[in-house]
Amino acid sequence: MSKQILLSHGGGGEETQNLIKDLFFKHFENDILLRMEDAASLVMNDHKIAFTTDSFVVSPLFFKGGNIGKLAIAGTVNDLSMMGAKPRYMTCSFMIEEGFLVSHLEDIVMTMRDEMAKSGVKIVAGDTKVVPRGGVDGLFINTAGIGEIMCENISAHNLENDDVIIVSNEVGNHGACILATREEIELESDLQTDCASLWKPVEALIDANVKIHALRDATRGGLSAVLNEWASTSHVCIEVDEAKIPVAKEVRGVCELLGFEPYEFANEGTMVIALPKAEAQRALDILKQFDETAKVAMIGTVSDRFADKVVLHTPWGSERFLEPPKGELLPRIC
Amino acid sequence: MTEVDLIEGFRDPEHMKALAALIKKECKSKINIMEVCGGHTHTIMKFGLSQILPDLIEFVHGPGCPVCIMPKERIDHAIALASMPNTILATLGDMIRVPGSKTSLQKLRAEGKDIRSLYSPMDVIKIAQENPDKNVVFFAIGFETTTPMSAVLVQQAIALGLKNVFFHINHVTVPEAVDAIMSGGDAKIDAFLGPSHVSVITGYKIYEPIAEKYHTPVVVSGFEPTDVMESVLRIVRQINEGKSVVDNEYARAVSREGNLKAQELVNTYFEKREHFRWRGIGDIPKSALKLKAQYAAYDAEIVFDDVLPKEELNDHKMCICGDILKGKAKPFDCKVFGKACTPTNPMGSCMVSSEGACAAYFKYGKLSLKGATA
Amino acid sequence: MCLSIPSKVVEIDENNYATVDTMGVKRKVTLDLISEPVNIGDYVLIHVGFAMNKISKEHAEDSIAAYNEIVEAMKDGSIAEDEGESQYDRS
């Protein structure tokens, strides 16, 4: 392990996983934490609860289709939703840099209010800190969220042979949107974040008794991170058809320009579902009815070909492993 | 036709399958094709072209990765320059991750040194103007594709009278490298896939001496999967007909003469070095460029000579990057591939640069080993 | 070689910088390396912030037409899809 923390440790890929396992788990070890799900699944006084936390340090703070506040609410709501838990209550802590504009703060807070209404979650406790200039980059937000588990046994451990993989939206929109907005790259596009609360579509699946094996929102590390985590946690092979993965034209443009793959870019309102083949059509029909998941697509299947690996099939009959994402995003040059 | 067609139109599955079928039909003998350029290695691996081509076609990966061929001592130069007080070191992309003998630019940046990874060399101008009290050193790398951009940067720096911009030039050239590999006599190469974008700048005339001297067809190929397949087909046909000429598959972008304005700019500011050490290959005469003597005031190797280490450094014994760059070995032949040497902990440069053969194999190639698990 | 992508010129400013569009993503590149005239609607190859040259649409169309012909030949039986050997073995 390196002596200093590098940017890649926060990338959500292999280095992040290693840091968590080799440092945090080493000292914080307990059975619940080691399950490594999106939220902890707890039992308190016989009630089944999901409990999660997240921090938001996105730069820039405002981007097409959202801002750090929207991310904070949707991100927390989604962590709970991915455990089959109805998001009930949240905490919210603001760490604000001296000199930050009050009008910007209010814009962010109003966005958060609007986003909370979509799932019904409420902020019930909070904290505010202001640090001198340079202490944080504008604004950082930390949240914790609690939800009631409505559907149990959704877990990365549950994938089975012949399961089908569904993705609820185009992949990579958020990551590509943020990258394109970064000043030093100077790209201009209409690309919007896909940031969205996913509780309503998830609730609809649960209410219809659709059997779900695993559910995860594809955040840092994108689709590739989710599929690789699932493959290694359930010890299965996941095979996806490249042609079936929905990718927005502009995201492909950013990838071509900068030398990335859309499967590594983060999403903030797109989930990946693993479920039995027989349930797939029902799930697709339900999800097509919601704006947030209207572009849902079936992209692959679970097999036993290569344990712990994800296989990508090209449209002309060749295939390769989709390796877990690594490092910070760096463009290829010659 | 739109710009989408110019990309997607060259990735059509129907075209790919048809080209594969035609190659299978016409290929009669074993053909070793060296793709010189790292970008082509990437295309071949990422799109799984070996899987749809007959076994008779084998790709031999060439030295066309400018980060990969950088000898360790020159990476140490970058580190030494970045370590100077009041200095900003700027370079393009992958260079910051390559380990030198003790550390890398990326690690140095984490320790607080001002090291910038740029998307364009022209960003150096803005950095220099915004930091007049600092030395801004541009560590320039790349084959002939990227050299003209450095030339424009030199031109601009001089025109604007910037006194705080310096250049460490590591630009290298394709024909001499190919010649060095072939003249060794032990490389079994029957044909070349010529680089796409080097050729845009230089024109395909630069490959004519190679085709003639070594009787190998050279097909200048575009970057997209159908370009490579079409180029393989043209190689197969030349071999069948006993021909060895330069053919331009990438006619939509490449001409025989190339971009004359770019060539003129390069010739104005740069000249060939007598010698340049290529990592894993050794000295290749006249294969690299430096600033002309009249621009010595901008040449970091002259101005900061006293901080630059002089020792030549060789690679770890277990690293076979040299053989891989010469096309004599494949990444899977390396005992440390994927074990001690991975993209996050690279031992050799073929792994650290995303254009490198080992990085391409690590990311895209592990399934190609039939029956491989990981 | 070096990452370079075809893009459409949508605007040119007085400093010889062009705004180019690649699949809906726009960025500015300098035209300083191109000696021939560049017009709005032309396609250029861009690399590290520069346009390297113009792309010939005619040649591109010729290439694609040639591929289409091969596809037709395959459909009408002049070439069999499974003829010959392949390393790719799914069995």
pLDDT for A184 equals: 63
pTM exceeds 0.80, yes or no: yes
Rounded CA separation B138/B153 (Å): 10
Assign domain B72-173+258-307 one CATH number from 3.100.10.20, 3.40.50.11740, 3.40.50.720, 3.40.50.2000: 3.40.50.11740
pLDDT for A333 equals: 39
Note whether residue C78 is domain-resident: no
pLDDT for A331 equals: 40
CB atoms C3 and A259 under 8 Å: yes
Note whether residue C30 is domain-resident: yes
pLDDT above 50 (res A330): no
Identify any residues that bridge with A238 across adjacent strands, giving them in sequence order. Answer: A302, A310
CB A325 within 8 A of CB A13: yes
Both tokens of B312, joined, read 């030549």
Rounded CA separation B370/C89 (Å): 8
CB atoms A334 and B142 under 8 Å: yes
Chains with ≥3 Cβ pairs under 8 A against C? A, B
Number of domains in chain C: 1
Q: Which residues of A touch B362 (CB under 8 A)?
A: 323
Q: Inform me whether the C-beta atom of residue A26 falls under 8 Å from chain B C-beta atoms.
A: no
Give the one of B96, B119, B365 whose C-beta lies nearest to A184's C-beta: B119
pLDDT above 80 (res B195): yes
Q: How confident is the model at residue C90 (pLDDT cuts 50, 70, 90)?
A: very low
Q: Is B35 helix (H, G, I), strand (E, B) or coil?
A: strand
> In this structure, is the dihedral angle defined by the CA atoms of residues B83, B84, B90 and B91, taken in order, positive or negative?
negative
Q: What is the pLDDT of residues C12-45, one digit of tens each?
A: 999 999 999 988 889 899 999 999 999 999 999 9
Which CATH number fits the domain that encloses residue C11?
Answer: 2.30.30.140
When the pLDDT of each residue in chain A is averaged and rounded to a whole number, the result is 91
Q: What's the gap in Å between the CA of A180 and the closest CA on chain C?
A: 8
Q: What is the percent of chain B where pLDDT is above 90?
A: 68
CB atoms B259 and C22 under 8 Å: no
Give this complex's ipTM.
0.89
- Domain ranges in chain B are 72-173+258-307
Give the one of B47, B355, B362 whose C-beta lies nearest to A318's C-beta: B47
Q: What is the percent of chain C where pLDDT is above 70?
A: 82
Domain that holds residue C21: 5-55
Give the one of A185, A249, A334 whose C-beta lies nearest to C2's C-beta: A334
Nearest CA in chain C to B7: C6
Q: What's the gap in Å between the CA of C65 and the closest CA on chain B?
A: 10
Q: Is B186 helix (H, G, I), strand (E, B) or coil?
A: coil
| DSSP element (H, E) containing C11 | strand C5-12
